[in-house]
Amino acid sequence: MEDKEVLRIYQKVYDYLDDFNIYEVRNIARAFGVNAPTTAKKKDLILTAIRVGAGISEPGPRSNKGARVKASDAPPERIAAVRSLLTECNRELTYVGAAQPPVELRFRDSEETGREYGYGDSCASGVLEIGRQGHGFLRGKSFLPGEGDAIVSDKLIERYRLRDGDIVGCYVAKDGNSAPEAVQIASINGDAPVFVERKKFDEIPVLYPEERFSLGQGGCLFLRAADIVCPVCRGQRGILYAPAGSGRTAFFREAAHAFLNFYPETKLIMVLLDLRPEELTEAEELGGAAVIAASFEDAPARAVQAARLALEHAKRVAEEGGDAVILIDSISALVRALSYSTPPSGVATAGGVDLAALGAAKKFFSSARRLKGAGSVTILATALKGRGVAMDADVGEDIGGVANMFVNFEREIAARGVFPAIDFSRSYTKRAESFQTEEEQRCAFALRNIASGKFGAEHVRELLSKTKTNEEFIARSDLWSGAVKE
d(CA 265, CA 113): 40
Task: Give the architecture (CATH level 2) of 116-188.
Answer: Beta Barrel (2.40)
First to last CA, the chain: 72
| pLDDT value for 228 | 96
Instruction: Rank 3-12, 90-99, 299-308 by mean pLDDT and report only the highest.
Output: 3-12
In which residue ranges of the chain is CATH 3.40.50.300 found? 206-483
* DSSP strand pairing (167-173 vs 116-118): unpaired
* pLDDT bracket for residue 127 (50, 70, 90): very high
d(CA 377, CA 310): 11
Determine contact, residues 36/197, Cβ cutoff 8 Å: no
In which residue ranges of the chain is CATH 2.40.50.140 found? 116-188
Mean pLDDT of the 128-144 span: 90
Residues of the chain above pLDDT 90, percent:
46
Whether the predicted pLDDT of 419 surpasses 80: yes
| pLDDT value for 441 | 95
| pLDDT value for 37 | 72
Sequence-distant (6+) residues with CB within 8 A of 5 are: none
Half-sphere exposure of 40 (CA within 13 A, CB side): 17
| pLDDT value for 348 | 67
Q: How many CB atoms lie within 10 A of CB 159?
A: 17
* pLDDT bracket for residue 111 (50, 70, 90): very low
Q: Helices 331-341 & 355-366, crossing angle to 10 degrees?
A: 130
d(CA 374, CA 205): 9
* pLDDT bracket for residue 109 (50, 70, 90): very low
| pLDDT value for 102 | 45
Task: Write out pLDDT tens, residues 71-88.
Answer: 667 888 888 899 889 888
Determine contact, residues 375/314, Cβ cutoff 8 Å: no
d(CA 81, CA 86): 9
Mean pLDDT of the 458-486 span: 89
Look at 293 and 353; give whichever has higher pLDDT.
293
Q: How far is CA 380 from CA 136, 159, 473, in A?
A: 29, 36, 26
* pLDDT bracket for residue 108 (50, 70, 90): very low
Look at 363 and 346; give whichever has higher pLDDT.
363
* pLDDT bracket for residue 36 (50, 70, 90): low
Whether the predicted pLDDT of 105 surpasses 60: no
Looking at domain 206-483, its CATH class is alpha beta
Mean pLDDT of the 266-276 span: 87
Mean pLDDT of the 295-307 span: 76
| pLDDT value for 117 | 64
Taking alpha carbons only, the member of 397, 365, 419, 402 closest to residue 252 is 419
* pLDDT bracket for residue 103 (50, 70, 90): very low
* pLDDT bracket for residue 392 (50, 70, 90): low
Mean pLDDT of the 162-191 span: 88
Residue 330 preceded by cis peptide, ω within 30: yes
This prediction's pTM = 0.82
Whether the predicted pLDDT of 267 surpasses 90: yes
| pLDDT value for 436 | 94
Whether the predicted pLDDT of 32 surpasses 70: yes
Look at 353 and 189; give whichever has higher pLDDT.
189
